[in-house]
Structure 1
Amino acid sequence: MTPGARIRVVIVDDEPMVVRLLTTIVEAAPDLEVAGTAADGAEAAALVERERPDIVLMDLRMPGVDGLAATARIRARPDPPIVVVLTTFDADGLVIEALRAGADGYLVKSTPPGELVDLVRVAARGHTVLSPVAKDGLLSASAAVRDERRRARARLSELTGREREVLAAIGDGLSNAQIAARLYLSEATVKGYVSGVFDKLGCANRTQAGLLAKQAGL
């Protein structure tokens, strides 16, 4: 995204009332604009191809091509936009699958307008976004959380102690600069650690790494 440019947002939801509400919230922010809206996943993928937005606010539960499939399709693009999934439920089991499909964050639709706008800005800067109510309930949404933790910890076995510290900080939603301050490292050093962690764990982005950290109980 070009510095100083408005953040272009695509809204995807099959409920017209929700689309109107989100459009009003986004358009009220001076640095955001709605690049288009879609009512299902197939329409969303075509819209992203045409408009090249910065952010996609993606409903999960839609007829036809749902938000999960649409997220995977959009994130498979060579230069994909950021995808933040939206759901009515703060313990929606599909959220974990959406994050695995490449979504960059998760917000419940009841997120207050001001907070939602702020989190869209945070997402546009490349950071993980999880609304407070979502963060607390995310792992409890999985019926197999114990198995998830066991498998996650096994994946972390290749990490060094410092890499585990960096991964834990990513799980807390910290930026590279914030991790550097926490661990008394240079930001360039942290960037190297983050890249190494992603390579070892096979994570595509900070959200996937952060989810793995939470699953492992870091």
Structure 2
Amino acid sequence: MSRFPVPTRVALADDHAIVLEGLKLVLSGIGNLVMAGEAADGAQLLALLQRERVDLLVMDLGMPGVDGLAFVQRLRALHPALRILVLTGNAGAGMGHAAIAAGANGYLIKSGDIGELVPALMALSEGRNVIAAGGAETATADALAALTRREQQILMLIARGATAGDIAAQLGISPLTARKHRENLMRKLDLHNTAEVVAYAARQGIPLD
């Protein structure tokens, strides 16, 4: 039977009750692993981490009140010692590395092998980072090439912190058109917020200043 070398407190965060129950079932037989609590949204998770000592956190990015990787950045700032494992249904290219860049320590895909979970948590407890194969960098060059020239311009501007108004002014287009281009490029690259755009741009070597 698997066993952590020292008592370790784990918290689970997912808005699907069946996922939480499944995770608890998988982790229930692990020696020295103690359940510290569970949460179904961002507010509950923040309250839980404020109230309880948590060593490891398994969290979904799609919960209510969780704005993707920006929430991970917030957790990292609030709880520097917390080891965070993102467990998500999003297998987009480069998302694993983006999660690590945002402050997570591990990234697993819900459609992956359940047998990866415990080894991943043990790796995190030992100070190592883990990325599932599906979350690794794949086909990023093709994805970037699929953007139109205008979308590539806007990607660079977003990565530099430009708002829709800034982009509209610099490119001579309306703010509405700028927002539409932003939506299109984020959909093509499977990105969900500005933090993920910035992380993507950095990985692609796009200048951020």
Q: Give the TM interval when normalised to the shorter protein.
A: 0.5 to 0.7
- Matching residue of 1:21: 22
Find the residue that maps to 1:28 and give its secondary structure.
Answer: coil
Corresponding residue for 1:73?
A: 74
Deviation (angstroms), 1:75: 0.6
Residue equivalent to 1:60? 61
Structure 1 residue 32: Cα displacement: 2.0
Q: Do 1:86 and 1:109's aligned partners in 2 also have CA atoms closer than 8 Å? A: yes
Shift, 1:88, TM fit: 1.2
Question: 1:10–1:57: 8 Å Cα contact kept in structure 2?
Answer: yes
Q: Residues of 2 paired with 1:142 and 1:103: CA distance? A: 26
Q: Considering only CA atoms, is the larger Rg found in Structure 1 or Structure 2?
A: 2
Change in Cα spacing, 1:214 to 1:126, as seen in structure 2 (3 Å) is farther
Q: 1:81 to 1:145 in 2, by over 3 A?
A: farther
Look up the SS of the partner of 2:103 in the other structure. Answer: coil
Partner of 2:38: 37
Aligned-partner Cα distance in 2 for 1:27–1:76: 30
Q: Matched residues in 2 for 1:126 and 1:142: separation?
A: 33
Deviation of 1:79 after TM superposition, in Å, equals 3.7
**Structure 1 outlier segments of 4+, above 3 Å:** 92-98, 139-147, 211-216
State percent identity of aligned pairs: 38
What runs of 5+ residues in structure 1 fail to find an aligned partner? Answer: 152-210
3-state SS of 2:86 partner: strand
Does the 8 A contact of 2:97 with 2:131 survive in 1? no
Classify 1:123/1:212 alpha carbon distance in 2 versus 1 (closer, same or farther; 3 Å).
farther
In structure 2, how many angstroms separate the alpha carbons of the residues matched to 1:94 and 1:14?
20
Instruction: Name the aligned partner's letter for residue 60 of structure 2.
Output: D
Between structures 1 and 2, the one with greater helix share: 1
Q: Normalization by structure 2: what TM-score?
A: 0.60
Structure-1 separation of matches of 2:141 and 2:106: 15
Shift of 1:72: 1.9
Question: Following the alignment from structure 2 to structure 1, what is the Cα–Cα distance between the partners of residues 132 and 23?
Answer: 16
How many angstroms apart in 2 are the aligned matches of 1:141 and 1:24? 40
Deviation string, structure 1 residues 178-200 (Cα, Å, up to 9, x no partner): xxxxxxxxxxxxxxxxxxxxxxx
Structure 2 unaligned regions, length at least 5: 147-151, 157-199
Equivalence for 1:91? 92
2:125 is matched with which residue?
A: 124
Write the distance in 2 (CA, Å) between the matches of 1:143 and 1:85: 23
State how far apart, in whole Å, the 1-side matches of 2:108 and 2:21 are. 17
Q: Does 1:47 align with 2:48?
A: yes
Q: What TM-score comes out, normalization by structure 1 length? A: 0.58
**Structure-2 change in CA distance of 1:23 and 1:142 (3 Å):** farther
For residues 121 and 108 of structure 2, the distance between their equivalents in structure 1, rounded to whole angstroms, comes to 10
Give secondary structure in 1 for the equivalent of 2:121: helix
1:9 is aligned to 10
Q: How far is the alpha carbon of 1:145 from its aligned partner?
A: 8.3
CA RMSD of aligned residues (A): 3.3
Q: Is the 8 A contact 1:40 1:66 kept in 2?
A: no
Contact 1:44/1:70, CA 8 A, preserved across alignment: no
- AA aligned to 1:111 is G
